[in-house]
Amino acid sequence: MAISQDDSRVTFKSTDGGREEFFIFADPDMVLKWRKDKTIPLVDVVQFFEVYNGGKEGIAGHPSNQKLENTFGTTNDMEIIQQILQNGTVHHAHKAHERPTLKDHRAVINESRGRGASTTNNTAGIHQ
C-alpha cells in the first residue's frame, strides 16, 4: 500500500539518552483528533500497523524486540503505536516538500550551488 500525500510520520526519540528514533505512518489530522478523543479507532489514524526505526539515511527497518523493550517497556505493537501517537512528534509529509515563499518572513532560501566564480576583483576568480 502506498503512502498518500496526506500521511505523515509520527516520530518518537528514545528518552534513554540513546540516538534511536522510532516512527509510524499516520494521518496527521487524525493523530491530533485521537490525542483528544481515544475512542477514535486506530484504523482511522494509522496507515500501517508497523513500527520502524532508522531512515535518516533513506533506509528504514524494523527495530529488534530488544530495542522496543528497552525503549517502550513492551514488544506489543499496539501499545508501542499508541505510545508513539501520544508522545511523538507529527511531521507533515506534504509540508516537508513545499518551498518557502517570500511571504514567510522566516524563510531563508539558499540558492548557492557551491564554490563558483567570484564577483570580486580576486585574481583567482574562485571563492576561497
Got the DSSP string for 13-40? E-SSS---EEEEEE-HHHHHHHHH-TTS
Please determine, for residue 2, whether its predicted confidence score (pLDDT) is greater than 90. Answer: no
Domains along the sequence of the chain with CATH: 8-96 (3.30.1250.10)
- Average pLDDT of every residue of the chain: 76
Residue for cell digits 500501517? Answer: 48
Summarize pLDDT for 15-29 with one digit per residue, the tens: 766 678 999 999 999
**pTM over cut 0.75:** no
